[in-house]
A = this chain, B = another copy of it.
Amino acid sequence: MNRSPLSRRNFLKAAGVTGAGLTVGACRNASAVPAEATRAAAPPTPTREPKPTEVAMADHNAMATPAESAAAAPAAQTETAWEEMDRMHEEGVKIFLDGIDPTNGFWGTPLEYTEENGVKIFELTCQEIDWEVEPGKPVAAMAYNGIVPGPEIRVTEGDTVRVIVHNEMNQSTSIHWHGVIVPNNQDGVPYITQPPIKPGETYTYEFTTRNSGSHMYHSHHNALEQVSKGLIGAFIIEPADKSNEPEVSGDYTLVLNDVGIGLTLNGKSFPYTQPIIAKLNDTIRIRYMNEGIQIHPMHLHGLEQLVIFKDGWPVPQPYYCDTLNVAPGERYDVLVKCHTPGAWAFHCHILSHAESAHGMFGIVTAVVVQE
């Protein structure tokens, strides 16, 4: 992964480079709001400004119909309704833009390991924790090493990997290496390939990696609860022979989830997701991993996606799309050539997973292409 630091100033330059660009706050682009706007806007009735967290915590899945409810209200009230809706939309985008911090470890800093006789040794601790899908609003979660998703494990094809799992939860667990070819007794299915790892126990997996690709690790015990609440992570095996690997300036893993901790992208809900930052004409790689129980057709604005791998296997012939349907358990690797500058919305196109009357939320982020 090769990411250049991005100052706040540079980010805004990138996002706003194309003209109207970002209109954070109440500013308006004169040409974008022409004079023929004929309807006199009533001055907004004073209403309490909703705080960001209030907005974000609202029931995003309920399909509000402000226009309908407003229809029965007096005119001034009607104005208030849509203006409040707009303000909530704007507030979310502001939080998103203000929260950009490319120096944090959001984008899959791989888990550190020790090495012993050529074996790479990782440690994972399972805990029941409170996880902030958004700041200040903890939800009951289950985590590897205290984060959701768990830390990315990244090794090279042929590596022998040992993973020591500590179960500090109040229920048993196990880990399945989803997509990774392993001996049967390392496959992680309680009562079929191993006993469950009971509360307080430690269990060790060990296998030599054979198939490169974007894989996952996750619980395979009481999995509807444990996976949906966060016992998930990326397990990436880089090929031993990298001559066929695409050259990219950034490599981003997007772990998608839905029930349990809610609609999230790498454990966070918009506006608390982090954007992907790239330079003009960069090619970036995105690895989708669906750990949820619903499909997530991922739509990137403005920049086409070239699908190169499915479930870690190369597709026979790469193909282009702008919306890629990722089903539970699937992974896809795509390349994106950043040929046009600006801030490109990037979200699940099941609209109830991405926007409510209170603004965008859930599985939404952006690819920001700096000039």
Q: A90 to chain B: which residues have CB within 8 Å?
A: 190-191
The B-contacting residues of A in range 6-32, CB under 8 angstroms, are 15, 17-24, 27-29, 31-32
The B-contacting residues of A in range 26-73, CB under 8 angstroms, are 27-29, 31-34, 36-41, 63-68, 70-71
B223:A192 contact, CB within 8 angstroms:
no
Min C-beta distance of A297 to chain B, whole Å:
4
Which of the residues B89, B196, B203 comes within 8 Å of A86, measured between beta carbons?
A: B196
Q: How far is the CA of A182 from the CA of B20 in the complex (A)?
A: 13
Q: A67 to chain B: which residues have CB within 8 Å?
A: 128, 169-171, 225
A118 at the interface (CB under 8 A from B): no
A200 at the interface (CB under 8 A from B): yes
Q: A343 to chain B: which residues have CB within 8 Å?
A: 184, 192-193
A351 at the interface (CB under 8 A from B): yes
A315 at the interface (CB under 8 A from B): yes
Instruction: Convert A181-221 into 0s and 1s, putting 1 for each residue whose CB lies closer than 8 angstroms to a CB of B.
Output: 11111010111111111111111100000010000000011
B340:A329 contact, CB within 8 angstroms:
no
Q: How far is the CA of A15 from the CA of B37 in the complex (A)?
A: 52
Q: How far is the CA of A21 from the CA of B192 in the complex (A)?
A: 7
Which of the residues B68, B70, B85, B316 comes within 8 Å of A317, measured between beta carbons?
A: B316
A148 at the interface (CB under 8 A from B): no
Which of the residues B63, B200, B351 comes within 8 Å of A40, measured between beta carbons?
A: B200
A37:B89 contact, CB within 8 angstroms:
no
Q: How far is the CA of A331 from the CA of B198 in the complex (A)?
A: 40
A351:B323 contact, CB within 8 angstroms:
no
B170:A70 contact, CB within 8 angstroms:
yes
Q: A312 to chain B: which residues have CB within 8 Å?
A: 322
Given the known interface contacts A325-B327, A328-B297, A342-B187, the answer about A86 and B172 at a Cβ–Cβ threshold of 8 Å is yes
Q: How far is the CA of A366 from the CA of B181 in the complex (A)?
A: 16
A318 at the interface (CB under 8 A from B): yes
Given the known interface contacts A33-B203, A40-B200, A343-B192, the answer about A316 and B313 at a Cβ–Cβ threshold of 8 Å is no
For A306, give the chain B residue with the smallest CB separation: B313
Q: How far is the CA of A285 from the CA of B203 in the complex (A)?
A: 35
B323:A313 contact, CB within 8 angstroms:
no
Q: How far is the CA of A187 from the CA of B15 in the complex (A)?
A: 12
A residues within 8 Å of B by Cβ?
Answer: 15, 17-24, 27-29, 31-34, 36-41, 63-68, 70-71, 78-79, 81-82, 85-86, 89-90, 93-94, 128, 140, 169-172, 176, 178-179, 181-185, 187, 189-204, 211, 220-225, 227-228, 259, 293-295, 297, 299, 301-304, 310-313, 315-323, 325, 327-330, 340-345, 349-352, 354-357, 366
Known contacts A66-B225, A325-B327; 13 additional CB pairs below 8 A are A23-B195, A33-B201, A34-B203, A86-B198, A89-B191, A89-B196, A184-B342, A184-B343, A192-B345, A297-B329, A310-B320, A311-B321, A323-B328
